[in-house]
Structure formats: C-alpha cells, structure tokens
Amino acid sequence: MRSRLPRGRFPGLIAVAAAGVLAVTVLAGYPVRSSLPEADARPAGQETRPPARIDRPRIMILGDSLTQGSSGDVTWRHDLWRHLRGSDADLVGPHTGLYDNVTGRDGSPAYAAPDFDRAHLAGWDAGLIGQVNQVGRHVVRYRPHYLLVLGGRDDLIRGVGHRAVLERLRDLVIAARVARADLRFVLGRLPRSLLNGQARGTVTEIASFNAALPALAAELSVPESPVTVARADRGFSPTADTWDGAHANRRGEMKIAASFADALADGYALGRPYPRPLRKVELGPRRAPVPAARPLPGGTALRWAAVPGATGYWVWMRAPGGDLVRLNGPVVFDHTEVTGIAGGVTYEFRIQPVKGQDSGARSAGVTVRTAPVPAARSLPEAEFGDLGVRCRARGLGGGRACARR
C-alpha cells in the first residue's frame, strides 16, 4: 500500500519540525514524475482533467519584496484578487502591510489602492530558509487551499546557488504538505533583477533556477497535492517593469499577477486567464502633492506633504508667458527653495513625485509673486596708498583700482 501524508491538523511547531524528518517519506510515498515542458504550467498528472474546483477558495501568497510591495504600490496581489473576485477567493495570511522604502520600516498601510483583501505571507528581504521554518504553522492556522510562491530571488542575490535554492523550495513544499496534505501549489518563475548592478552571475543563476523549476514542480506534483508553475518571468523587463531594477512598478505588478492568474485558470480551473493585451497603466506615485509657496526675494520657498513611497520630487516652474520647465533635481526632501529668479514677478510651480526611475502624477499649479530683490548696497569710495600709488576701494566686493599719482 502506498503511504500517504495524514490529512489532519498538526500543531505549528510539530509541523515545522516534522518537515525535515518526513521529507524522505513524502517523496517515497508519492511517485516521481518526468519533467514538464517549459511552456506547460499544468500540474503533473493533471494534463487532461484539472482538479475539482473549490468553492470559496482560500489562497495564501508567500514571497519576498516582489510580493509584499512597498509604500505607494498597488501590488500584484491586488491585481490577482480583483481578477478572482468572481471566484469568491479569500486571500489569507498573517500580514497585511507593505514595506516603507523611505523609512525602512515594515507594516506600512500606504497602498495606492487599499480596498482589497490584503492578507499575505511575504516579507522584504525574506529568504526561503526562514519561510520553510514558518510555513507549516501558518498553513495550520489559515488552512489555505492554494499556496502561491514567488520566492528564492533574494537567496540567489545573496549568492546562494540555484540548485540549493531549488532544494529550499522543495523543503518548503514538503513542510506545507505536512500541515495540509491536499494543498495545491503554484510556484513562480523569477523575474530578472538588475538592482545595484548585480553581477552577471546572479542573472545566470536566476535563469538556471527558472529553467529547472518545471522539472521540480513535476517531481513534487501528485494528484492529491498538485504543483504547477507560473511564468512570472515571461515578458518581464527589469528596466521597463521595475522602479529600481528589481522591484515591480505598476506595469510589472500586472505582469506577475497575469502569470499567476493564468496558472490558476489553466492548472486548477480557478478563474479565467488574465485578459490580453494587458491594459496600459500610469507609472510612478499616483498621489499628487499639494504644494504651498512663500515668496522670497528673487525666489520662493516650496513645501508639501510627503507622498508614500516617493524617493524624490521634481520641481516644475513656469515664468509669465512661458512653458513649464523642469528644474534640476529631483529634490529628496518635502521642501525646497528656488532662488536666483526675477523679483516682483509671478511664477507657477508644480511638484511631481518620483519613485526610483518612475515619475508620477504632477500636482496642480501653485502661483507666487516673488519679493523684490534689494538693490546692492555699496560703500563710499575711499582713497588710500603710499609710495606714489593711489587706490580706490569699490563696493562690498573688496575690488580696488590703483593708479600712480
């Protein structure tokens, strides 16, 4: 008789500890299958008939910074949830917040679109080892039907080889199955990263991980607990689809969500494939600042409330009868002074938030009439000198003119 994992609940700590002990049993108890073709995201063993649909499915999304998102983001979790609303899906997990990329603090509530099911199991800089150690107790507590995983990239960036990362991903699947034997998995291929000019070796390791992931999914997949693959790397550009070379911007978020929606629809008959072509979206922070201006002699002092997630701000200026001109910058604070312009003249200013390389929504214009520039104060000329040379001091600059008597 073929051994099977028990279907009952395990206490969280027991589930985590048992994962390593039962790893051999899990793999021995289920057949090992041949590799899937890279383009096929269906669970192994389910090529012609997807698993039965689950009413009111609970979905846990596990990952790192790509999944958690940072202040001012919409997140791909939001896009997937909106796409699955007709399926009555419930996102579950212990966390709801974002990472604040400006202050470096976790738990930010500053979503660009907060009206969705925000629960998740993701963390900024989260490696797979830590996630292997915690996934069992969270599966026990939240009882998801589906576990969506987009993780391992931080491990690869830190120099862990792709084979070791794949083994960590195997351990994660096993640990989650100890807690729930009929759990369904979607494992995401990893988008490329160019953060901080990462070495060519990192790019190669990500590519090797992605190439090997379908074979691992096929090996781990069984009828009771299928494993399928989401091609989150397909069409994803680290220059066009991220705000800093690594973390998804609005366009990148939608591409990742589409890949997981396709995998759920194709492998599990959950929802429909994501609509194509993907809709066009605006990049950068969408919350426009509201600037205030105070006149200065030949300039102005500008101030505004910080925009969540913004790493800087462009200042735009319009002189009377002219076009808007972007000044040098961006400014990294929520205030600045513009000086060296004409006094007694009315100017228009606008503030545009920036996140990394993406510029967002410009503010409405604020007008200010600069204060007059005081006339330069001069000193009276004074004669001095000796030895037949006469000099005159001229003004505040300390210049002088000398001539022989």
Based on the domain organization, do 23 and 99 belong to the same domain? yes
123-148 pLDDT per residue, tens: 999 999 999 999 999 999 999 999 99
Range of the domain at 60: 12-268
CATH number at 101 reads 3.40.50.1110
Based on the domain organization, do 252 and 391 belong to the same domain? no
Model pLDDT, residue 200: 66
Based on the domain organization, do 78 and 96 belong to the same domain? yes
| DSSP state letter for 14 | H
Based on the domain organization, do 345 and 389 belong to the same domain? no
Q: Mean pLDDT over residues 8-36, rounded?
A: 37
Number of domains, the chain: 3
Whether residue 212 is predicted with pLDDT greater than 90 in this model: the reply is: yes
Could you give the 3-state DSSP secondary structure of residue 265? Answer: helix
| Pairing mode, strands 399-404 and 389-394 | antiparallel
Based on the domain organization, do 255 and 184 belong to the same domain? yes
Does residue 146 contact residue 183 with C-beta atoms inside 8 Å? yes
Model pLDDT, residue 3: 35
Q: Mean pLDDT over residues 320-336, rounded?
A: 94
Distance, CA of 11 to chain centre? 33
Based on the domain organization, do 299 and 258 belong to the same domain? no
Q: pTM above the 0.85 mark? A: no
Whether residue 16 is predicted with pLDDT greater than 60 in this model: the reply is: no
Question: Residue 404 is encoded by which pair of tokens?
Answer: 């022989």
In terms of pLDDT, which residue wins out, 303 or 193? 303
Model pLDDT, residue 131: 96
Q: Where are the beta strands (DSSP E) in 158-311?
A: 184-188, 227-230, 292-296, 299-303
Query: Residues 113, 114, 115, 117: is their CA dihedral positive or negative?
Result: positive
CATH number at 353 reads 2.60.40.10
Does residue 3 sit within a domain? no
Based on the domain organization, do 335 and 246 belong to the same domain? no
Model pLDDT, residue 203: 87
The helix (run of H) or strand (run of E) holding residue 196 is none
Q: Which band of pLDDT confidence, cut at 50, 70 and 90, is reported for residue 53?
A: confident
Does residue 195 sit within a domain? yes
Does residue 400 sit within a domain? yes
Q: Mean pLDDT over residues 212-223, rounded?
A: 97
Model pLDDT, residue 224: 95
Q: Mean pLDDT over residues 162-170, rounded?
A: 97
Based on the domain organization, do 246 and 316 belong to the same domain? no
Task: Say which residue the tokens 């192994």 belong to.
Answer: 44
Could you give the 3-state DSSP secondary structure of residue 118? Answer: coil
Based on the domain organization, do 346 and 399 belong to the same domain? no
Does residue 244 sit within a domain? yes
Does residue 4 sit within a domain? no
Based on the domain organization, do 188 and 138 belong to the same domain? yes
Model pLDDT, residue 328: 86
In terms of pLDDT, which residue wins out, 114 or 13? 114
Based on the domain organization, do 114 and 236 belong to the same domain? yes
182-193 pLDDT per residue, tens: 999 999 999 998
Whether residue 264 is predicted with pLDDT greater than 50 in this model: the reply is: yes
236-255 pLDDT per residue, tens: 999 999 999 999 999 999 99
347-371 pLDDT per residue, tens: 999 999 999 999 999 999 999 999 9
Model pLDDT, residue 54: 84
